[in-house]
Structure 1
Amino acid sequence: MSTIVEGRVDRRGMGALSAGHLFTDLNQGAVAALLPFLEAHRGISLAAAGALVFASTASSSIIQPLFGVFSDRRPFPALMPLGVLAAGVGIALVGIAPGYLSTLLCVVLSGMGVAAFHPEAARFANYVSSKSGRARGMSFFSVGGNAGFALGPAVATPLVLAFGLPGTLFMAIPAALMAAVLFHELPRLREFRPEEPASGPRRVPAGRDEWGPFVRMTLVVAVRSLVYFGLVSFVSSYYHGTLGTSEAMGNVALTLMLFGGAAGTLIAGPLADRFGRRRVLLASMCLLAPLLFLFSVLGPEAGMVVLVLVGASTVGTFAVTTVMGQEYLPNRIGFAAGVTMGFSIGLGGAGAVPLGVMADHFGLHAVVVVLAFLPVIGAVLAYTLPGKARSSGA
């Protein structure tokens, strides 16, 4: 049985899990980058392209809690390498799929691989982190996913430009290599699992599941995700259409926001371990509202600086809320991860649709103002959360 030094994270174990997260979410990030090529070379409509995005989101996010329930009832660590492999193979086959339906099925296969990986990997990210260092450990795990999602277009686009749509076949190579690494690491990772009681296979309850705080925290995650997806969807257009800049400058602003989110993830984890999960989550919600209001009245250059802080406040607490969910539901940590990393984020993504309708009728500035009000709701909900999960003492 491997041991964890209090306050420390097992670097080798977390390195494997974070890298697996990167190579899994790399495939999810590649979906959007492939759409223009599918439209140009296969003649699919914008509506059909939107359906592919929805299929990717639904299969990768909304069904994650189902995999979480499965892993809670019957842990299956092999879902980690199998999930990475399925995510890569699904995207790899998109480029040679003979028709739209087969393309859709390939995207669904990739999304299901993403969904299968996350709950089991988040469980082991919990195991390889010490009790007092869980948020720090989960931040390391989460930043791998952030990097992978951002790298997806950067990897897929050159492959398609160089080899045409069949170039997506190369996406299977990093997935297969990462799956092999995770299969090799499984025996060591299993050593971090809590020991079963000597009297039998039934686990001793880790504590009382606190469903009320968990539901309220899930609503905070949904609000935060709605803000995040709203910004990801409209920041570039806001710069071009409202601030009158070039499309390239809008993409730079979005990139800076995403980099701010990655930095915030690494900062918020240690802060949450030191000062408490609830305090960091509440502070991020309280900061986000005035930052967004400030962004709505600034020009392009100053707005970029604010967007970096907005990204840090929005994305930075993704890992924190995953740990909080696992501490509120200590007997269902796979399910908790599936909800906080998948289902509630998927709900936030779905909310970007009505924001788009609002933008068509009232303009993008109105959307930014609405997004600035949403964190107030999140702050109120975060304030009602207990300072510590009674089951964990965290």
Structure 2
Amino acid sequence: MEKALHKDVGKPHDENQTLYRILFIIGACHLLNDSLQAVIPAMFPILERSMGLSFTQLGLIAFTLNMISSVMQPLVGTFTDKKPLPYALPIGLTSSMVGMLGLALAPNFWLVLVSVVFIGLGSAVFHPEGSRVVYLAAGNKRGLAQSIFQVGGNSGQALAPVITALILVPLGQIGAAWFTLIAGLAVVFLTYIAKWYRGQIQSIQAKKKKLAAKTHSKAVSKAIKSALIVLIFLVFARSWYAAAISNFYAFYAIDSYDLTIAKSQIYIFIFLAMGAIGTFLGGPLADRFGRRNVILFSLVASSPLSILLPYVGPIFAMILLATIGLFLMSSFSVTVVYAQELVPGKIGTMSGLIVGLAFGMGAIGSVALGYFIDLLGLSTTMIMASLLPLLGFLTFLLPTDKKVQEWYE
């Protein structure tokens, strides 16, 4: 693998050429990174029983992880837009490795939070820098490239129920220590990626100068800002609903269908696994049918299914979760590419903003949903959350792909 990768090291490539080798390696690293993050919500039922944590405390753990990631990602992206740091990638995963070891050994709630901070910092560095690597290697297939990258992350998240059933249920909290090996493997791969990334810096700087010379009218600048605000609302709707399912639906399934912890994880796995497939399909579909069209379909098609979900039985719930996951997450990579094309001179900032925002909204959603569950009950909260995909109709306010392209011609 190292020999194959070094063929591209130090060589600026044709910007229309898609480097699948780089894309698959960074996608694999995304899987490893997000599988580390998946350990945290997967541990919720374990921590609830072993430490006697409330739903609000569980929400605060998710909040800490996601908020650190969301706040830091745009900052990292903005800084590295100005000064690229290729070796930030392996350094970030080293922070996650330290946090994972701390999580396995933490004796109380507060040390769990400290460990989660280290994991969040690693993720905050990885996502904007990983997205920049993808942009550089994408060529003329940006949707497909971002899908390859993001499906790695979604696949890592989908491992959470498997991690719970096969590792954390039999081993308990100490089972998280095994994931320091996964973090170490990611550090090795990212060191390879960093060497290739370093060779592209000259090309990055040349593109930045070219884009800096492009000026917009006040009307276009206002339209770009308005589009970003709409995109933020769409990410909010998707992230809060995904947080409701991935963090709390296991408890809903246990209460509603009288399931064990292990069996309840099947529902989460179905949602996340189909979400990973949707993430992969969304990119190439957006390359063919347009970014805005895929974003619109993603949320609007999910809305009637999400509204129906709280009222069905256990078997039909699996079918609905699979379909919702497929539809809802098809826009995940597409929103990143759409934002990058809105502001192509700030790839790291836009990647950090959209992906970081998804984490941040998920963080706030986790705390809010946990609070509402404690206050109103599980069923009522899940019914309220089911209305969120209806915000997808705001997509009609976004400029078309053709209009965005015209702004930079």
TM-score by length of 1: 0.86
Q: Which string of whole-angstrom CA distances, capped at 9 and with x for unpartnered residues, describes residues 327-357 of structure 1? A: 1121211111111111243224412444445
Select 1:151's aligned residue among 150, 159, 165. 159
Equivalences for residues 53-202 of structure 1 within 5 A: 53-97=62-106, 101-131=110-140, 133-152=141-160, 154-155=162-163, 168-192=176-200, 195=203
Q: Is the 8 A contact 2:37 2:157 kept in 1?
A: yes
Q: Is the 8 A contact 2:150 2:333 kept in 1?
A: yes
CA shift, 1:141, in A, is 0.3
Q: 1:107 to 1:359 in 2, by over 3 A?
A: closer
Select 1:313's aligned residue among 308, 327, 343. 327
Q: 1:280 to 1:37 in 2, by over 3 A?
A: closer
Equivalences for residues 374-393 of structure 1 within 5 A: 374-379=388-393, 381-388=394-401, 389-390=404-405
Amino acid at match of 2:338: M
Unaligned runs of 5+ in 1: none
SS in 2 for 1:203: helix
Q: 1:91 to 1:366 in 2, by over 3 A?
A: same
1:360, 1:196 → 2: CA distance?
49
1:298, 1:99 → 2: CA distance?
38
Matched, 1:228 2:228: no
SS in 2 for 1:130: coil
SS in 2 for 1:239: helix
Give the RMSD, CA atoms, in angstroms. Answer: 3.1
Q: Is the 8 A contact 1:288 1:314 kept in 2?
A: yes
2:47, 2:373 → 1: CA distance?
27
Q: 1:180 to 1:25 in 2, by over 3 A?
A: same
Matched, 1:203 2:218: no
CA shift, 1:382, in A, is 0.8
1:151, 1:299 → 2: CA distance?
24
Equivalences for residues 185-334 of structure 1 within 5 A: 185-192=193-200, 195=203, 203-205=209-211, 210-242=224-256, 244-247=257-260, 250-334=264-348
Amino acid at match of 1:3: H
Q: 1:63 to 1:21 in 2, by over 3 A?
A: same
1:156, 1:293 → 2: CA distance?
28
Amino acid at match of 1:333: I
Residue 3 of structure 2 aligns with which residue?
none
Q: Is the 8 A contact 1:359 1:367 kept in 2?
A: yes
Amino acid at match of 1:314: L
2:168, 2:248 → 1: CA distance?
26
CA shift, 1:130, in A, is 1.8
SS in 2 for 1:63: helix
CA shift, 1:313, in A, is 1.5
CA shift, 1:224, in A, is 1.1
Q: Is the 8 A contact 2:305 2:320 kept in 1?
A: yes
Q: Which string of whole-angstrom CA distances, capped at 9 and with x for unpartnered residues, describes residues 50-107 of structure 1? A: 5433322222233211111111121112111111221122112333457665443222
Amino acid at match of 1:129: A
Q: 1:157 to 1:368 in 2, by over 3 A?
A: closer
Q: 1:229 to 1:166 in 2, by over 3 A?
A: closer
Matched, 1:343 2:357: yes
CA shift, 1:176, in A, is 2.0
Q: 1:235 to 1:53 in 2, by over 3 A?
A: closer
Moved more, 382-391 or 220-229: 382-391
SS in 2 for 1:270: helix
TM-score by length of 2: 0.83
Q: 1:76 to 1:359 in 2, by over 3 A?
A: same
1:37, 1:193 → 2: CA distance?
45
Per residue, is there more helix in 1 or in 2?
2
Q: Is the 8 A contact 1:17 1:125 kept in 2?
A: yes
Q: Percent identity?
A: 30
Number of corresponding residues: 387
2:146, 2:359 → 1: CA distance?
17
1:192, 1:136 → 2: CA distance?
21
CA shift, 1:188, in A, is 2.3
1:240, 1:158 → 2: CA distance?
18
2:29, 2:74 → 1: CA distance?
19
Unaligned runs of 5+ in 2: 1-10
